[in-house]
Structure 1
Amino acid sequence: MSRTLTRAGTVAAVGLTAIALAACSAPKNDSSGGSAGASGGSSASAATATSAADLGGMAALEAAAKKEGALNVIALPPDWANYGQILKDFAAKYPEIKITSSQPDAGSADEIAAAQRLKGQSGAPDVFDLGPAVALANTSMFAPYKVADFDKIPSDFKEPSGQWVNDYGGLMTVGYDSAKVPAPTSLADLMKPEYKGKVALNGDPIKAGAAFAGVQMVSIAEGGSPEDPTKGIEWFAKLKAAGNFLPVDPTPATIQSGQTPVVFDWSYNQVGVTPKLSTWKMWTPPNANLMTYYVQAINKDAPHPAAARLWEEYLYSAGGQNAWLKGGAKPVLFDEMDKAGTLDKTAASALPPVTTPVIPTSDQTDKAKAILAKEWANAIG
């Protein structure tokens, strides 16, 4: 599975050049990639810093991060929300900091597992990019930190102390190859014989944020709610009974080959398919415009705490936010940047139109997660 579509898969490690080229497969070396032992006093204070001001400002934070000389990221495939370019740009701005990208195809749950497994080691993840359900279940692992523009982020999109912050969002869509299947006009269409063995969900909703949101979207469309995905679970069980559910985790390769001609996934991933497959289209149930934002957090046991905080500052700068936007994702500071005139208008105009979006709250996500954990395996098998 590839996080380009599923955020779940095998273990790999890459240097920045390999990240930019999207060509990596070397096993991760947990004993390498870190310089925590050489980070000294500045790193010790960085580990408890809740803002750049705690370290004396951005210049001091940059100096501390450069002294550490390393940053470990995880589950960031190059094609997902433009992360390849983001990693390349960060490395160009801070060439003194070596980036190690582990498990680019991993799921959100795998990020947490890696941090737990590697706790105290130099190869542990410094930062997380998580689906909301996994993030909210693991807040005890996060270090509070407020980036420079923290106060500009709407209160519904952050934990008040900066323990976690939403970063970018997308619209849940049904992508399909118009050359291989009819254009769906309702979810009921996907139960028809024309879609036999052709409808793939983006991973396991217990582990993958996109799949989780896919079930939520169907639940809403079927008359349910974001906090109760029962109707979504029932719908996918019927899809399987009809023989239309395809238990294959989609990748760009499976889409282009025609193996997975219908895929539930985020709009920013669907946008990435169209340049390679002109017949790939998107559809969303008109009564279920579900948008979900992923979550940024700093590992409280980060081996490179200054670099982790500098990475967050970069992501929430105009450069980082516009980079996500260019990847087809809606950055959390979209509205503020639009007002300030710093938003990339061309990239913004390419986003799919959304009317009356449903954005699940933290409480709704928690409730849905509990129900899915209990019911999904029984329904799908």
Structure 2
Amino acid sequence: MKNSRLLAVAASTLVVLGLVSCAPPEKEDTGSKTESGVSAREATSAEDFGGMDKLIEAAKAEGELNVIALPPDWANYAEIIDTFSKKYGIKVNSAQPDANSQDEINAANQQKGKSTAPDVFDLGQAIAIANTDMFAPYKVATFDSIPEQFKDPDGTWVNDYGGYTSIGYDSAKLPEITSVEDLLKPEFQGKVALNGDPTTASAAANGVLMTAIANGGSVDDIAPGVEFFIKLKEAGNFIPVDPTPATIESGQTPVVIDWDYLNAAETKKVPTWKVFVPQNALVGGYYFQAINKDGPHPAAARLWQEFLYSDEGQNLFLKGLARPVRADAMEKAGTVDAALLAALPEVTGEPVVATDEQSKKMAEYLGANWAKVIG
């Protein structure tokens, strides 16, 4: 989809081997019911509650929402959570903000039936598709304005936001980056970081894919990507530091391979921080939003979805420089924040987006070969 605000395919490569999270025993959850007597857990739209006002009423009665793995500096989630909480008077409990997708699933399984279990998920493709039996189908009011390729027909999962793999760097300390190969230059010694472990994190796995494509590989052959990181390490350029806003701002990680919306967000804190998206290795992906069918706050979970996919929620993702899934429809309707849309990092061409099967093969290869880089 050239020159579109959306990515070409609804997918986000994520391979994870997360740890099981722990929680103290809590009281069993009994769920809530709508005014008509329908279980809130079985509601597939706001109409099942009697309309949006009744859904809001039911969610307020529950009073809380449990989210997990939502870093405050990721896609503007700090403001999204704060806005939702103030708008509806619902306390948002944010657990394990730095967890990965498998951690989310592990927490839901271990805490099933407890008041601490996550109500909603924000997942990469591989984990989302592998765990659809844990999701509750739900269609938000704006469901019809979400392109078919970005959602399950029944609303079991829906893509929420996406972006492109990029290289962020401090232009005050380093020369301009115009290609992936530039990272091998002596000027980048001890400076290049990858956001996470590619065997457990989507951003990192896509980073390896980006370098593979830039070096003659493909989504079906990421070996050149692993080889590139081996060369980076041998040159002394790759540093085994998991970058964060703090490491970027302190100068510890002056070059970071990450999603463009995360790198672009750093320009607000580090004015000399620039973002390079290699057009010859354009790798894109969306994350998947879903409701935990066994979550303790089913009405609040559904109201959260309504908020995320409303014009207000989508513009808040956009404020975080992530590409909201409804961007094209909102642009046509005149409801998108045009200034924020124009601020997105410029890209051209067709992005490469791994399918579920390709993601699995990438997982296998990375699991067997990434040790060559870090070993």
- Quickly name the TM-score band, shorter chain normalised: 0.7 to 0.9
Shift of 1:57: 2.5
CA distance in 1, matches of 2:369, 2:247: 28
Counterpart amino acid of residue 147 in structure 1 = V
Choose which of 116, 129, 146 in structure 2 pairs with 1:153: 146
Q: Which residue of the partner structure matches residue 234 of structure 2?
A: 241
1:370 aligns with 2:364: yes
1:77 aligns with 2:71: yes
Counterpart contact for 2:163–2:285, Cα < 8 Å: yes
CA distance in 2, matches of 1:137, 1:228: 23
Q: Which residue of the partner structure matches residue 214 of structure 1?
A: 207
1:65 aligns with 2:69: no
Shift of 1:193: 2.0
Report the TM-score, using the length of structure 1 for normalisation.
0.86
The CA deviation string for residues 105-149 of structure 1, in whole angstroms up to 9 with x for no partner, is: 222222122112211211010001112233233223222222112
Counterpart contact for 1:11–1:103, Cα < 8 Å: no
RMSD: 2.6
CA distance in 1, matches of 2:131, 2:20: 21
Aligned pairs, number: 358
Matches within 5 A, 1:41-190: 45-95=39-89, 97-190=90-183
Counterpart amino acid of residue 115 in structure 1 = A
Counterpart amino acid of residue 116 in structure 2 = G
CA distance in 2, matches of 1:144, 1:373: 32
CA distance in 2, matches of 1:350, 1:8: 35
Q: Which residue of the partner structure matches residue 252 of structure 2?
A: 259
* Bigger shift: residues 55-64 or 330-339: 55-64
Shift of 1:39: 3.4
Report the TM-score, using the length of structure 2 for normalisation.
0.88
Counterpart contact for 2:260–2:277, Cα < 8 Å: no
4+ runs of 1 displaced by more than 6 Å? Answer: 7-12, 41-44
SS of 1:274's partner is helix
CA distance in 1, matches of 2:78, 2:346: 25
Choose which of 312, 324, 345 in structure 2 pairs with 1:331: 324
The CA deviation string for residues 16-55 of structure 1, in whole angstroms up to 9 with x for no partner, is: xxxxxxxxxxxx97557x8944735669712122222233
> Measured at CA, do residues 49 and 193 of structure 1 come closer, stay the same or move farther in structure 2, by a change above 3 Å?
same
The CA deviation string for residues 177-210 of structure 1, in whole angstroms up to 9 with x for no partner, is: 1222222222222112221221101001122121
Counterpart contact for 2:31–2:40, Cα < 8 Å: no
Greater relative contact order, per chain length (Cα 8 Å cut-off, separation 6+): 2
CA distance in 2, matches of 1:172, 1:134: 19
1:192 aligns with 2:185: yes
Q: Which residue of the partner structure matches residue 194 of structure 2?
A: 201
Shift of 1:70: 1.3
* Bigger shift: residues 157-166 or 122-131: 157-166
CA distance in 2, matches of 1:252, 1:379: 24
> Measured at CA, do residues 253 and 228 of structure 1 come closer, stay the same or move farther in structure 2, by a change above 3 Å?
same
CA distance in 2, matches of 1:144, 1:230: 38
Counterpart contact for 2:20–2:106, Cα < 8 Å: no
CA distance in 2, matches of 1:374, 1:65: 46
Q: Which residue of the partner structure matches residue 276 of structure 1?
A: 269
Shift of 1:378: 4.4
SS of 2:246's partner is helix
CA distance in 2, matches of 1:224, 1:161: 36
Shift of 1:359: 4.6
Choose which of 334, 337, 342 in structure 2 pairs with 1:341: 334
Any gaps of 5 or more consecutive residues in structure 1? 1-6, 13-27
* Bigger shift: residues 181-190 or 197-206: 181-190
Counterpart contact for 2:282–2:351, Cα < 8 Å: yes
Counterpart contact for 1:30–1:121, Cα < 8 Å: no
CA distance in 2, matches of 1:150, 1:117: 31
Choose which of 221, 225, 242 in structure 2 pairs with 1:228: 221
* Bigger shift: residues 323-332 or 86-95: 86-95
CA distance in 1, matches of 2:132, 2:223: 26
Q: Which residue of the partner structure matches residue 24 of structure 1?
A: none
